Amino acid sequence: MAKSTFQKSLAKAGEYIDEGFDLSDPQLTDRAFAVLDKLATCKTIHDEDAVLLHYFRANAFNNRQHHEGLARSWQWEMEHLQSELLELRMAVRHKGFEKLDPIRRCQILTNLGSKLNSVGRPVEALHYWDKALAIEGRFAMALFNKGLGLLSYADSVSDPGHSQLLAAQAHDNFVAATARDAVHESTENAKLVPYFAERAKDISTWLNVTSANENLEEEHSLGRSRAEKAYRRWCLEKRLFLNPMNDLGTYSIAAADSLVLPSITLPFDKVGAMPPTVFGLFNQLKQEFTTARLFLFEGMTADTAHFADKGVKLINTLDYPSYGVNVEKARQGYRMTYALFDKIAFFLNHYLELGIPEKKVFFSSIWYETKGNPKPIRPFFQDRENWPLRGLFWLSKDLHHPDFQEATEPDAEALAHLRHHLEHKYCQIHEQWGVTLVNFDDAEAEKIGLHVGRHDFEAKALRLIGLARAAIIYLCLAVHREESFKKDGSPKEISVPMLADTWDDKWKV
């Protein structure tokens, strides 16, 4: 099919999608799918058109959610929603994405962020809205949707100070979306400016936005030594502090892992002399996360060999391998990070009293019944109105669902596969420049295990620990939501507080 003919058909599918949404007409959406399915069979598809195929299919799946009344549903497993997410991700990862018009790229990234936010993953949603704004900082729909995401985030955190700072940034994004020079993708969207302004006004009625922003920008110490300052700057830049403020940027106020569980309410017959076990479980999650993060930092930023490597005799295998304590720190950091997900599942099984035998508690399977094809979601989770808990469910798909693994961006592809080789098999990390010089295909019969370039490994390690950070934040937010259910359900019952102090940094020897 000629390029011009292909594009005309693609444009026609877009018209069907828009009209199908505006008129709530499923038949028009079906026509769009018929055109898109036919175009997908073409032998030659230009890169830009292939990206648009994914994008239009995503919009068509979004239509079907609206047609079936599922757009605002609390269902956790939704076929059309999953398909929309996959199509958007395939559009972003396609090699033709960078060839698209900047505004079209902003549209795709904005939609992907909004869809992740809708399933309870605001941390990752902010990442995609920021990517859109890095392309065009005045793109109104990215600004507005980022504002909505920040408001949802603010409503979910238990710390009032954090909530106010998140809401203040939401206000600023709404205001930016109303600016005269804001870029609108269509005249229809431009008509939403009064609504954007109204959302900003709503926040300013209960929050001193100027004061909140001043608190956010106040300078805080990053430590005394040069090494500590370098470490904390690195964590801020990579957005790896367990602190919602780090999702707002590299503000020094965020340079501490201040995230803690909210107050926990328990029946009198389950309260002992010590604080509830969940606090110890969460402490351990945080400690292992921060240790893994330090290992990755040291392994990725070291510029000299460690003294422990002296005298360790190794054979030169002529394939430019990466050896040394620093590399092993990065490998160990990856393994420690991956193990956190099953420990999050262990936490949920205990806290939510799911009753799953400990040996069968895994992040990949905790959500589902043990029998059935396909296995149904456990009754506890079905339609549960816990936004960040649902976010953990959808995050688990990134690690364990084959379609999501294939559709995600290259630096997050096959994270479980890499972990399996690091933990149980053979994974050789090579200097990246060496991989381009060595043709491994010439010795394919002798090559065993998984071979990965050092830069590729480090990119995957950073993506993995970013996912782990998001998961721990969602866990904390989910507990806060569960505790609100308890308060709503028994407002007249008497409660007795048990105060718990914090562990002093001087005791961490």
**499 falls in which pLDDT band (50, 70, 90)?**
low
411 neighbors 462 (Cβ within 8 angstroms): yes
Predicted pLDDT at 507: 72
Structure tokens at 293: 């993060």
- Check pLDDT > 60 for residue 400: yes
Q: Of 203 and 408, which is predicted with more confidence?
A: 203
The mean pLDDT value for 428-438 works out to 64
Q: Beta partners for 452?
A: 429
Mean per-residue pLDDT, 184-211: 93
Per residue in 206-254, pLDDT (tens digit) is 999 999 999 999 999 999 999 999 999 999 999 999 999 999 999 999 9
d(CA 40, CA 59): 16
- By C-alpha distance, which of 115, 129, 151 is closest to 407? 115
Q: Are 66 and 32 in contact (CB under 8 A)?
A: no
Give the pLDDT band (50/70/90) at residue 413. Answer: confident
Average pLDDT over residues 413-442: 74
* Cis before 374 (ω within 30): yes
Average pLDDT for 304-325: 87
- Classify 373 in phi/psi space as left (phi over 0), alpha (psi -120 to 50) or beta: beta
Range with top average pLDDT, 22-31, 67-76, 427-436: 22-31
Asked whether the predicted pLDDT for residue 58 surpasses 50, the reply is: yes
- Residue 406 has a pLDDT of 83
Query: Above 90 in pLDDT, residue 492?
Result: no
Q: Which of 76, 90, 5, 22 has its CA nearest to residue 367? A: 76
* Contacts with 8 (C-beta within 8 Å, 6 or more apart), sequence order: none
11 pLDDT exceeds 80? yes
Whether the Cβ atoms of residue 306 and residue 324 lie closer than 8 Å to each other = yes
CB 21 within 8 A of CB 63: yes
Q: Which domains does the chain have, with CATH numbers?
A: 3-217 (1.25.40.10), 259-310+323-491 (no CATH)
DSSP 8-state symbol, 506? G
Question: What average pLDDT does the structure give for the chain?
Answer: 90
- Report the C-alpha gap between 240 and 448 in whole angstroms: 34
Q: Tell me the CA distances in angstroms from 131 to 106, 112, 113, 166, 450, one per residue in order.
A: 8, 11, 10, 19, 31
Q: How far apart are CA 29 and CA 16, in angstroms?
A: 6
pLDDT of 370-379, one tens digit each? Answer: 888 888 999 9
* The predicted structure's pLDDT at residue 321: 86
Report residue 269's pLDDT band, with 50, 70 and 90 as the boundaries: low
Decide if 86 contacts 92 (C-beta within 8 A): no
* Confidence bin at 277 (pLDDT 50/70/90): confident
| Sequence-ordered list of residues with C-beta below 8 angstroms from that of 140, at least 6 positions apart, any chain | 177, 182, 183, 184, 185, 189, 190, 192, 193, 196
* Overall average pLDDT of the 499-504 stretch: 70
Handedness of CA 272, 274, 276, 278 (dihedral sign): negative
What is the arithmetic mean of pLDDT over 157-180? 96
Query: Is the pLDDT confidence value at 442 over 60?
Result: no
Residue 414 pLDDT class (50, 70, 90 cuts) = confident
3-state SS class at 307 = helix
User: 10 Å Cβ neighbour count for 152?
Assistant: 18
**pLDDT for position 374:** 85
CB of 128 closer than 8 Å to CB of 108: no
What is d(CA 415, CA 340) in angstroms, rounded to the nearest whole number? 14
Under 8 Å between Cβ of 308 and 377:
no
pLDDT value of residue 445: 41
Strand partners, 453: 430
Question: Is residue 503 predicted with pLDDT exceeding 90?
Answer: no
pLDDT of residue 223: 93
